[in-house]
Structure 1
Amino acid sequence: MEVEMNEETLKSAGAELLPDGRRGLRIHGWEIESLHGSILNSLALQQWEEKLQTSHLPEMVFGDNALVLKHLSSDTKIHFNAFDALMGWKQEGLPPVEVPAAAQWKFRSKPSQQVILDYDYTFTTPYCGSEVISRDEEKQQGADADLDRETSLRWENCEERIDLAALSLKEHILFYDEVVLYEDELADNGVSLLTVKVRVMPSSWFLLLRFWLRVDGVLMRLRDTRVYCVFGKGETPTVLRESCWREATIQSLSAKGYPMDSAVYSDPSGISQRLPVIKQTTQKLKIPQKS
């Protein structure tokens, strides 16, 4: 993907790079930044397990990775991170996917023992992002639980849809990045992957949060969340969020004439339209005015 990051192009679009070597830019009142770090070490993993009240986490958790979008004048922050996503996994608590080879899988938490799969080892999450209206430190120190709840943003269900035609128009991409939040290869029996991609154009920003699951020979699951904001002139920004969950067993796909070989399904973009939709919602967020 070609990205226009030269100073002249950014300036003509009303954008500027973030200072101090940070990855991202400021444009039309938004600050968009991607953060990249290493995989959690054993001590950090133990701390996360305690906080999440679990003894199981994905093989690779990128705890310092994040995508953060801040609307500066309203202190609104929309962000994406692994911890909140895994909190969603823990709360949803799906039953484990039945796999013929599951009884022989050996997970790193107990490498010398066969593990009873009594939890969702696919780490499927309903997570579609985190958001808050930031408050300065003094206000946060005096905030009570009710005030904390008031700082959450309010998404409303709507009939509007993201304008995919507008997104397909040829326009300079000022910034693009992909952030991996966590990944697990399911003991070489598939893949579980959560990523978020963002691109910023002169007219808008757009992101895709994608959970992709392939359990070889058994199941494919795709949970996509697309978020889109068009830059307005002097208007209160509106953000659209579409979530679409798709899922199918390999057996049901085979019955429709699709191949059984899991190698065919390495790219979720190529298979997504073959998977039936099981849940779809569209929501709208009007960025609140700062009081």
Structure 2
Amino acid sequence: MEWVADERELKDAGAEALGGGRIGFRIRGWEIESRKGHILNSSSLRLWEEKLQTSHFPEMVFGESFLVLKHVNSGVKIHFNAFDALSGWKQDALPPVEVPAAAKWKFRCNPTDQVILDYDYTFTTPYCGSVDIEKSSEPGRGSPEESACDPQWEDCQEKIDLAALSSKEQILFYDEIILYEDELSDNGVSLLTVKVRVMPTGWFLLLRFWLRVDGVLMRLRDTRMHCTFKENSEPIILRECCWREVAFKTLGSKGYPTESAAYSDPGVISGRLPIIKHKTQKLITGKIL
């Protein structure tokens, strides 16, 4: 559920609502917008099948939902959507998670069908967000030549100061958007969401892929981004990607519960999942924003 500060609070922070039925606002040179759309209908799903060359999709795909953070003058746009996330899933093509024989039948639409799971039905994605340059012909927004350099993520030693972000700073805007979800035929959950909050000093977001295959394994792939608003200089945009994974039997060997009900909130139990990949990067735009 989105939350936006009142008009006076936005004005005091130098922000203004987007208006025109759009959810979000402008602040310190950024336009931040979110949208929650309906689940893909059959005609849209057929179009996605053609584009992605697959007939496999999560039970609920919110194809019109998105989060966009755009720096107006430079055209640098950071955005999150289900199509790009599923493109990453398709390209990654992980092997399907093996499940016990009894549970495997539950993934079949008809128990009499001899269905072989030859694709990643968990829809695990390596997606960490999309970044590009949105060219503008408006005066004062820079020429296409000035914006021709694609932004790149480069590894860095700097880290997001999560302790500072936990301080009680005024929140001007908050929203959580579901991009896709699947209950794995009542055998767990596969969920991709993005949350954003904007403060007077900057914005922070969390893209989270959460997978629990009951009795088998759990995956948590978190992407955090943080931008501090800067005056007359290039803003520092950091991205931290952390992938965690553990098998239920491993949890049991360490004395942790193995009942699925004990693992409904990934934010609470993330510390029990070993880190298998971690990196921090900085967005390099090649120009002053």
Give the TM-score, by structure 1 length. 0.91
1:89 aligns with 2:89: yes
For the 8 Å contact 2:85–2:125, the answer to whether it is kept is yes
Residue type at the aligned position of 1:191: V
What is the distance in 2 between the residues matched to 1:96 and 1:4? 41
What is the distance in 1 between the residues matched to 2:129 and 2:15? 25
Q: Where does the alignment leave 5 or more consecutive residues of structure 2 unmatched? A: 139-143
Instruction: Report matched runs for 1:138-149 at 5 Å.
Output: none
For the 8 Å contact 2:216–2:247, the answer to whether it is kept is yes
Q: Give the corresponding residue for 2:196.
A: 198
Residue type at the aligned position of 1:68: V
Instruction: Report matched runs for 1:87-236 at 5 Å.
Output: 87-100=87-100, 101-107=102-108, 113-136=113-136, 151-236=149-234
Deviations 1:109-138 (A, max 9, x none): x79734210110000000000010112489
Q: How many residues in Structure 1 have an aligned counterpart in Structure 2?
A: 282
Q: Give the corresponding residue for 2:33.
A: 33
Relative distance call for 1:65 and 1:111 in structure 2 (3 A) is farther
1:257 aligns with 2:258: no
For the 8 Å contact 2:224–2:239, the answer to whether it is kept is yes
Shift of 1:152: 3.0
Deviations 1:42-76 (A, max 9, x none): 12111111111111000000000000000001011
For the 8 Å contact 1:103–1:115, the answer to whether it is kept is no
Residue type at the aligned position of 1:163: D
What is the distance in 2 between the residues matched to 1:269 and 1:93? 26
Relative distance call for 1:17 and 1:216 in structure 2 (3 A) is same
Relative distance call for 1:2 and 1:73 in structure 2 (3 A) is closer
Q: Where does the alignment leave 5 or more consecutive residues of structure 1 unmatched? A: none
Residue type at the aligned position of 2:39: I
For the 8 Å contact 1:238–1:287, the answer to whether it is kept is no
Structure 1 residue runs of 4 or more that deviate by more than 2 Å after TM superposition: 1-4, 105-108, 110-115, 286-291
Supply the RMSD in Å over aligned alpha carbons. 2.3
For the 8 Å contact 1:95–1:120, the answer to whether it is kept is yes
Q: Give the corresponding residue for 2:24.
A: 24
Relative distance call for 1:233 and 1:253 in structure 2 (3 A) is same
Instruction: Report matched runs for 1:231-250 at 5 Å.
Output: 231-250=229-248
Relative distance call for 1:29 and 1:111 in structure 2 (3 A) is farther
Q: Give the corresponding residue for 2:141.
A: none
Q: Give the corresponding residue for 2:73.
A: 73
Relative distance call for 1:107 and 1:21 in structure 2 (3 A) is farther
Q: Helix, strand or coil: the match of 2:240?
A: strand
Deviations 1:250-275 (A, max 9, x none): 00011111001101101001110110
What is the distance in 1 between the residues matched to 2:2 and 2:25? 16
What is the distance in 1 between the residues matched to 2:104 and 2:225? 39
Give the TM-score, by structure 2 length. 0.92
What is the distance in 1 between the residues matched to 2:10 and 2:2? 14
| Aligned-residue identity in percent | 66
